[in-house]
């Protein structure tokens, strides 16, 4: 996670957990675009990083 700090990754994981029902797709690229458009995460975050965040969110739920 080159551009994400550990704390930012944890916050994004919690956000994805709490708002999973609001995403119309499970596609990591779609979720990344949604997070960036809402200003929740930086645009430099990659789809692979969002995939890791989604996986962590699903494990922690």
All structural domains of the chain with their residue ranges: 6-60
Q: Quick: pLDDT tens for 1-60.
A: 457 889 999 999 999 999 988 888 889 999 999 999 999 999 999 999 999 999 999 887
Cα separation, 8 vs 27, in Å, equals: 21
User: H-type helices in the chain, by residue range?
Assistant: 6-19, 28-37, 47-60
The pLDDT, as a whole number, for residue 2 is: 57
Integer CA distances (angstroms), 35 to 8, 11, 12, 45, in order? 13, 12, 9, 10
């Amino acid at each position: 996670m080159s551009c994400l700090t550990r704390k930012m990754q944890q916050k994004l994981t919690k956000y994805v957990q709490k708002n999973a029902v609001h995403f119309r797709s499970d596609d990591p690229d779609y979720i990344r675009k949604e997070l960036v458009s809402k200003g929740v995460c930086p645009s430099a975050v990659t789809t692979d990083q969002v995939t890791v965040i989604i996986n962590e969110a699903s494990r922690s739920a």
